[in-house]
Amino acid sequence: MYRYDHYDQALVDQRVAQFRDQISRRLSGEITEDEFKPLRLQNGVYMQLHAYMLRVAIPYGLLSSDQLRMLAQVSRTYDRGYGHFSTRQNIQYNWPRLQDVPDLLADLATVQMHAIQTSGNCIRNTTSDHLAGVARDELVDPRVYCEIIRQWSTLHPEFAFLPRKFKIAVTGAPTADRAAVRVHDIGVRAIPGPGPDDPHGFQILVGGGLGRTPRIAEICREFLPREHLLSYLEAILRVYNRYGRRDNKFKARIKILVGALGIEAFSQQVEAEWALIRDGAMQLTQAEFDRVAADFADPGYAALESSDLFVQSLALSKDRALGRFVASNVIPHKQPGYSIVMISLKAKGKPPGDATAEQMELVAELADRYGFGRIVVAHEQNLVLPDVESRHLPDLHARLSALDLAEPNIGKVTDIIACPGLDYCNLANARSIPIATRISDKIEDLDYLHDLGDISLNISGCINACGHHHVGNIGILGIDKQGEEFYQLMLGGSPGDDASIGKILGPALPSAEIVDAVANVLRTYIDNRESADERFLDYVRRAGFEPFKEQLYGSNDHV
Amino acid sequence: MVPTTMSETPELHPGARRIVRVGASGKPEIAIDHWQRLGDDDPFPSLDALPVLVTLARAERDRQALEQRTGAWGVWVPGNADPEQIAERLRDRVLVAIEVTKFTDGRHYSLARLLRDRYGFTGELRAFGDVLPDQLSYMQRCGYSSFELAPGKSLETGLRCLTAFSVSYQGNTTDPRPLYRRRA
Ligand code: SF4
């Protein structure tokens, strides 16, 4: 993984010193809260319902075991012994004290981590495919470009006060988008060059996003030669910085600008700007590409036979706990003899994405023991051990089980993405986490869970959509009805290559009914699907909403 | 902390103020400044040698009068101005001042950068208005060379903020090379 040189380290250290100075000036009253707010946001410090919250960047989700141990230590020293992994591959601490934040950040800097631009109206942490570098369907390793983008966007002097926040995602797998690039402000897709001998380049998508106005990104440029990546991003950002709306916070995202101009006019403006800078100093050099790529070279894999058959047999193991785990949480690795292991942070009764210090330390230890000391955070709020020798799977499963980290539900309907909701967030209309917990509790039968197959379920506590409910196969949105928590049920969303925005099924339901409604939807699917091969999403797309409405609301009643 | 304000500096004659300026050496310093910013209907200062800043509209209207004064004249523009529309008329000025209406409105950064990098403005580029110490470093890297801080803001803090970082990933007006063309 990328290792800081003295420049990277100096920048992060100096950033800590700068923020320390800013906090002391805030505490002395030299700067007002209004002046301080963007400064603290761009250092990851949010005001939550009860206290300050700190969001620490995990660039493109990649962690070393030492870094994960530090995240655990920080949670013990400055917080309450746990952290929350977010949908953007970051970690959040819910209870640090403002005075402690500089020391906390200084501790993180010792392991090459920071909280720069994890919030505020600036370019945020660049996210990527959690299977980057190990997936079989990958064209190029997107992390190399993510790191290059990270450096370009870090303390970029022109783009620190954009109209609104700005999120970029990169995928290196042209046929398997696991980074949800189409619901980002900019989506970068690596694609093969036009000719057989041409190097890969990028398709650039722009204007995607969720929130109040969900929108699927459109193509801004079909093919961008890779050396121009940064100048092209700069051109988009400049057009946005100059012309994005600033009069209304809810219309300030780039998707509104793209929507207002139309993608053609927007991309013409970008191209005109780009034409003036493309051949300048921002062109990526081969030397820089090589320098960064060297840090993402494969670890020293052993030369092994394929383990595909072995893994398949484990999935059928008589030990059903192991079998289910392997069937749902283990993914084929590009390297023969190795497996990718997903660790679910969605155990029954636990807030999705939370991990205790002990759990983080265990995962770090297991990564050292079985997986070259690397861990990845997935945007689905799970962890990944990307490089496990397949023969260790049974041992690994046993170790994970001991700390409640072996929930066999990756990609299943209980692998719920949920925002913090009313329990933590001052914008919320309704709680999210308890709904997630109740749904997991409801679907007790693991055979039934696995029979349901791959289904994503996303919950947001308000229209800001931090739980990405629009792109859940099943989406749940908390709304407020005369002071009561109600929930809207949506179906048909998807964040991937077949991205779509879910649609509302019918009238919102009170908290007491929403969980049964989800169960009802799942039952309708199971009873009516063509075969076990027809995924939930495919069924919804084929059959439409009628079967669900009939079962849930009775034919014409509510609707 | 007591901010440095004009009122504490009785040796300044009326109309003068202290600003932060990046000297030719690249080193920021506190300087005394006499530029008078005028609205479109403000009279010229009685002291003919005092330099003045006017809007582009007034520069056109009062061109002759401006040229006849002994003091220099420059132009002030709003932070959301289009460089494409105005750059030509700014090019020969010794000083252009950009108004930052609200520090969270980042359009002026692009304006400054384009005036420098694209339209070749080489004079003094000044920020005034809601100019706070903590943004000076970003401003300098976008091409600003002097800063009239918002009322009550400490110039010393401003100086300190300008030297907070020894490294940046991006190029700037004086050296357009990003770090990856400078790494050693
Ligand atoms: S979706 Fe709403 S409730 Fe949930 S975290 Fe975001 S702002 Fe808060």
A107-116, B107-116, B174-183: lowest mean pLDDT where? B174-183
Report the DSSP beta bridge partners of residue B20: B30, B147
User: Confidence class of residue A460 from pLDDT cuts 50, 70 and 90?
Assistant: very high
State pLDDT tens for residues A3-49: 999 999 999 999 999 999 999 999 999 999 999 999 999 999 998 76
State pLDDT tens for residues A156-193: 999 999 999 999 999 999 999 999 999 999 999 999 99
Report the DSSP beta bridge partners of residue A323: none
- pLDDT value of position B7: 45
Q: With H, G, I as helix, E, B as strand and everything else as coil, classify residue B53.
A: strand
Whole-number Å distance between alpha carbons of A240 and A234: 10
Give the closest residue to A199 by CA, choosing from A278, A289, A276.
A289
Strands in A45-47's sheet, in edge-to-edge order, are A45-47, A52-56, A91-93, A82-85, A354-356
- Residue ranges matching CATH 3.90.480.20 in chain A: 6-109, 308-401
- In chain B, pLDDT over 70 holds for what percent of residues? 93
User: Confidence class of residue B26 from pLDDT cuts 50, 70 and 90?
Assistant: confident
pLDDT at B6 over 60: no
- In chain B, pLDDT over 90 holds for what percent of residues? 88
Stated as kind and residue range, the H or E segment containing A539 is helix A536-543
Which of B170, B172, B173 should one mutate to test binding to chain A, selecting the residue with the greatest count of A CBs within 10 A? B170
- pLDDT value of position A555: 57
- pLDDT value of position B1: 40
- pLDDT value of position B11: 62
User: Confidence class of residue A554 from pLDDT cuts 50, 70 and 90?
Assistant: confident
Among the partner-chain residues A21, A152, A288, the one whose CB lies closest to the CB of B170 is A152
- pLDDT value of position B113: 97
Q: What are phi and psi of A56, to 5 degrees?
A: -100, 135
Determine the CATH number of domain A127-295: 3.30.413.10
- CA of A149 vs chain B CAs: smallest distance (Å): 10
Report the DSSP beta bridge partners of residue A504: A490
Q: With H, G, I as helix, E, B as strand and everything else as coil, classify residue A506.
A: coil
Stated as kind and residue range, the H or E segment containing A143 is helix A142-153
Tell me the pairing of strands A168-171 and A127-128: parallel
Report the DSSP beta bridge partners of residue B154: none
Question: What's A21-81 look like in SS3?
Answer: HHHHHHHCCCCCHHHHHHHHHCCCEEECCCCEEEEECCHHHEEEHHHHHHHHHHHHHHCCC
A416, A440 in Cβ contact below 8 A? yes
- pLDDT value of position B25: 84
- pLDDT value of position A48: 77
Q: What is the DSSP string of A377-416?
A: E-TTS-EEEEEEEGGGHHHHHHHHHHTT-----TTSTTS-
What is the CA angle B101-A168-A94, rounded to 5? 80
Chain A residues touching chain B at CB-CB below 8 Å: 5, 7, 10-11, 14-15, 17-18, 21-22, 25, 28, 30-31, 35, 38-39, 121, 148, 151-152, 154-162, 230, 238, 241-242, 246, 276, 280-282, 284-285, 287-288, 291
A421 touches ligand 1 (CB under 6 Å): yes
Q: Do B138 and A160 touch (CB under 8 A)?
A: yes
Q: Which fold has domain A417-553?
A: Sulfite Reductase Hemoprotein; domain 1 (3.30.413)
Radius of gyration of chain B (CA): 17
Whole-number Å distance between alpha carbons of A401 and A412: 18
User: What b/e readout covers A239-272, taking b as 16+ CB neighbours within 10 angstroms?
Assistant: bbbbbbbbeeeebbbbbbbbbebebeebbebbee
Q: Average pLDDT of A403-422?
A: 94
Residue A63 has a CB neighbour count (10 Å cut-off) of 28
Looking up tokens 């100019």 gives B131
User: Confidence class of residue B102 from pLDDT cuts 50, 70 and 90?
Assistant: very high
Whole-number Å distance between alpha carbons of A217 and A220: 9
Tell me the pairing of strands A354-356 and A82-85: antiparallel
A452 touches ligand 1 (CB under 6 Å): no
User: Confidence class of residue A351 from pLDDT cuts 50, 70 and 90?
Assistant: confident
Q: Which atom in ligand 1 lies closest to the alpha carbon of residue A465?
A: 1
Compute CA distances A396 → A72, A286, A385, A405, B94, whole Å: 20, 40, 10, 10, 70
- pLDDT value of position A420: 86
Among the partner-chain residues A30, A238, A280, the one whose CB lies closest to the CB of B110 is A238
- CA of B161 vs chain A CAs: smallest distance (Å): 8
Which DSSP letter does residue A345 get?
S
Length of chain B counted residue by residue: 184
A186 touches ligand 1 (CB under 6 Å): no
Q: Which fold has domain A308-401?
A: Sulfite Reductase Hemoprotein; domain 2 (3.90.480)
pLDDT at A558 over 70: no
A258 touches ligand 1 (CB under 6 Å): no
State pLDDT tens for residues A59-86: 999 999 999 999 999 999 999 999 999 9
State pLDDT tens for residues B146-168: 999 999 999 999 999 999 999 99
- pLDDT value of position A418: 93
Domain boundaries B6-182, CATH class: alpha beta
Q: Average pLDDT of A425-447?
A: 91
What is the phi-psi region of residue A534: left when phi exceeds 0, alpha when psi lies from -120 to 50, beta otherwise?
Answer: beta
A294, A301 in Cβ contact below 8 A? no
Compute CA distances A266 → A202, A260, A273, whole Å: 18, 9, 11
User: Confidence class of residue A143 from pLDDT cuts 50, 70 and 90?
Assistant: very high
CA of A477 relative to ligand 1 center, distance in Å: 10
What ipTM does this complex have? 0.93
CA of B57 relative to ligand 1 center, distance in Å: 47
Give the closest residue to A15 by CA, choosing from B147, B166, B106.
B166
Q: Quote the pTM value.
A: 0.95
Name the residue at shortest CA distance from atom 2 of ligand 1.
A462
Q: With H, G, I as helix, E, B as strand and everything else as coil, classify residue B19.
A: strand
Whole-number Å distance between alpha carbons of A328 and A453: 9
Tell me the pairing of strands B17-22 and B28-33: antiparallel
Stated as kind and residue range, the H or E segment containing A515 is helix A511-528
Environment class of A51 (CB within 10 Å of its CB; exposed 0-12, middle 13-18, buried 19+) = middle
- pLDDT value of position B4: 45
Q: What are phi and psi of A121, to 5 degrees?
A: -90, 65
User: What b/e readout covers A474-497, taking b as 16+ CB neighbours within 10 angstroms?
Assistant: bbbbbeeeeeebbbbbbbbbbbbe
Question: What's A74-92 look like in SS3?
Answer: HHHHHCCCEEEECCCCCEE
Q: What are phi and psi of B125, to 5 degrees?
A: -115, 115
pLDDT at A506 over 90: yes
Residue A556 has a CB neighbour count (10 Å cut-off) of 8
- Encoding tokens for residue A114? 């920071």
A323 touches ligand 1 (CB under 6 Å): no
Give the closest residue to A487 by CA, choosing from A544, A422, A410, A409.
A422
State pLDDT tens for residues A181-237: 999 999 999 999 998 889 999 999 999 999 999 999 999 999 999 999 999 999 999
- CA of B117 vs chain A CAs: smallest distance (Å): 10
Looking up tokens 């660049």 gives A126
Q: What is the DSSP string of B114-168?
A: HHHHTT---SEEEEEES--GGGHHHHHHTT--EE-PPTT--HHHHHHHHTS-S--
Which of A462, A479, A490 for mutating ligand 1's site (highest number of atoms within 8 Å of CB)?
A462
Q: Which of residues 98-157 of B touch A (CB under 8 A)?
A: 103-107, 109-110, 113, 118, 132, 134-135, 137-139, 141-142, 154, 157
- CA of B31 vs chain A CAs: smallest distance (Å): 22
Q: What is the DSSP string of A200-249?
A: PEEEEEE--B-TTS-B--EEEEEEEEGGGHHHHHHHHHHHHHHHS--S-G
A353 touches ligand 1 (CB under 6 Å): no
Domain boundaries, chain B: 6-182
Domain boundaries A6-109, CATH class: alpha beta
pLDDT at B5 over 80: no
The per-type count for chain A, helices as H runs and strands as E runs, is 18, 21
Among the partner-chain residues B109, B134, B142, the one whose CB lies closest to the CB of A39 is B134
Mean pLDDT across chain B: 92
Mean pLDDT across chain A: 95
Give the closest residue to A1 by CA, choosing from A90, A132, A170, A137.
A132
Report the DSSP beta bridge partners of residue A356: A82
- Encoding tokens for residue B53? 């800043």
**Of residues A446 and B130, more confidently modeled:** B130
- Encoding tokens for residue A30? 């030299």
Length of chain A counted residue by residue: 559
Q: Which of residues 1-30 of B touch A (CB under 8 A)?
A: 1, 3
Give the closest residue to A38 by CA, choosing from A174, A160, A154, A194.
A160
